A = this chain, B = another copy of it.
């Protein structure tokens, strides 16, 4: 019989037996027809691809990630990851939803339509991540908006539910109503979770409400407790360490986990890679290539109830990658729906048609120039003397901060933070709603000189400026305002690096390699300013993340995350 493509003599990953098997793979009408050797002679292929000595795997599937973390548009992002063997992603557009609401989600869906990669969406259910009392966002998704969005095509799940405090403590809250809606009206969709440190009866209550995955940083005990309670674990880079891998291997827990990238910034993507990087890392740390393949293809597909992919078997989508080497994970060819979309040796047709977002997405920073007097830190209660301040200590290797208490001298009502090792942090509401400004103090693994300003700030994406002097802070902030979004570093009045994020203040419309290079310059300039952190851009972006313990800053004030309240700078 006629088939479109026959890939011959490869070592094909069979997920059911968890092993590579010598076989030919026949493709018909975008799907796999036959995998085997015995009956290949009955096939008349239009095209033959020789895969002798090579490995054939399903395209990788990343089920927990945010395209916005790459700061690229879906189309640009897709073109990059297809080369790395990723053919399906589930992206949760909660960054753009925080800026643009329902329209942001719909525009991301539209912008994903012509991507080579299949882009599914998790509907953001915590926009804002906390409540309107703790942060001002550009968009708010309530019950009605979520109900509306869940009905869209290419929805895979309810995106990460993170407000576990409200769920566990308050009955009939917005959280309860959202979960009830999804469990009852859309039972076909998984409900994704975000629940660091939750345990015991609290964890059970969380799962009881239908949230049965977690992608946050895992401890071994936490992971085991989650699996025992029926949770699927999405292991991201932070969690992928030798101790955890030992447990996965010794207890054979691969049914219950997948590798996911969550947030990969452009410079990291262009440098070390994406899910392909996690595959390599997993193998280098002692997971067999078979199990690494399993948890980047089969288990993520199953978790998202994608019955049509994730295995090389008859009837499944012909999303296939040919790999030279399983340790280096060098992708030679990528097929999507049976079509060759990437090849190291052949040219592939690619239609470059970058989708445009609506006009107002390019004018989303509703701020005029700021001035130094907006950054003056004062206290009306003390004229001269000292005050005890809540200071946010930023830590390397994590998004968590430590709340410190520090004495700072006051002179004529001005808090003289410049005399200390602290930095000033300011958040300007930029969605054109409240015009709030919050001032706070930070220390620890952050910059030591100059200033940095950014509109890429989880999750509210207001303008955050952190600096050691007001002049640099004003320059950095105004540069970002001028370009309608982005990140800018400044020292001694000079701009060190700058990445424009002109779409909703969080995405660039430039090609991926350019975003990567510009962001890398930003990272280097941050390092240069003394930012001692494994990922300074993400660290900076999470200074405002009010669901990540313990002390964070939003336009509404300093947030005590564990208590879910606004606290004053001065104790």
Chain A residues with a Cβ under 8 A of chain B: 1, 14, 16-17, 21, 28, 31-36, 38-39, 42-43, 187-188, 200-201, 204-205, 207-210, 212, 227-230, 251, 253, 255-256, 305, 307-308, 311, 313-316
Contact = CB atoms under 8 A, between A and B. Distances in A.
A466 B305 CA distance: 50
A550 to B, nearest CB: 24
A16 B228 contact: yes
A38 B200 contact: yes
A171 to B, nearest CB: 11
A255 B256 CA distance: 12
A207 B42 CA distance: 17
A522 to B, nearest CB: 43
A39 B205 CA distance: 12
Residue from A17, A188, A253, A315 whose CB has the most chain B CB atoms within 10 Å: A315
B251 A204 contact: no
A316 B212 CA distance: 11
B316 A201 contact: no
Contact of A229 (B229, B230, B313): B313
Residue from A16, A17, A35, A42 whose CB has the most chain B CB atoms within 10 Å: A16
Contacts of A305: 305
A347 to B, nearest CB: 30
A315 B210 contact: yes
A311 B230 contact: yes
Contact of A35 (B17, B188, B229, B311): B229
B28 A208 contact: yes
A207 B314 contact: yes
Contact of A316 (B228, B230, B316): B230
13 contacts: A16-B256, A17-B227, A34-B204, A35-B204, A36-B200, A36-B201, A43-B201, A187-B308, A205-B314, A208-B314, A230-B313, A230-B315, A230-B316
A209 B315 contact: yes
Contacts of A42: 201
A209 to B, nearest CB: 7
Contacts of A187: 307-308
B210 A16 contact: no
Contacts of A1: 201
Contacts of A313: 207, 228-230
A38 B229 CA distance: 14
Contacts of A16: 227-228, 230, 253, 255-256
A209 B32 CA distance: 11
A208 B338 CA distance: 14
Contacts of A210: 315
A13 to B, nearest CB: 12
Contacts of A308: 187
Contacts of A34: 201, 204, 208
Contacts of A36: 200-201, 204
Contacts of A201: 1, 34, 36, 39, 42-43
A205 B208 CA distance: 41
A227 B31 CA distance: 18
Contacts of A307: 187
Contacts of A35: 204, 228-229
B17 A251 contact: yes
Given A17-B227, A187-B307, A205 B251 contact: no
Residue from A14, A36, A38, A209 whose CB has the most chain B CB atoms within 10 Å: A36
Contact of A200 (B28, B33, B39, B229): B39
A271 to B, nearest CB: 36
Nearest to A1: B201
Nearest to A227: B16
Given A34-B201, A188-B188, A315 B17 contact: no
B33 A208 contact: yes
B17 A230 contact: no
A31 B210 CA distance: 11
Contacts of A200: 36, 38-39
Nearest to A305: B305
Given A1-B201, A17-B228, 8 more contacts: A16-B227, A16-B230, A35-B228, A187-B308, A188-B188, A205-B314, A229-B313, A230-B313
A205 B33 contact: yes
A135 to B, nearest CB: 30
A25 B43 CA distance: 56
A339 B200 CA distance: 25
Contacts of A316: 230
Contacts of A256: 16
Residue from A38, A230, A256 whose CB has the most chain B CB atoms within 10 Å: A230
Contacts of A229: 35, 313-314
B315 A207 contact: yes
B212 A315 contact: yes
Contacts of A255: 16, 255
Nearest to A201: B39
A199 to B, nearest CB: 9
Nearest to A40: B201
Contacts of A38: 200
Contacts of A315: 207-210, 212, 230
Nearest to A203: B314
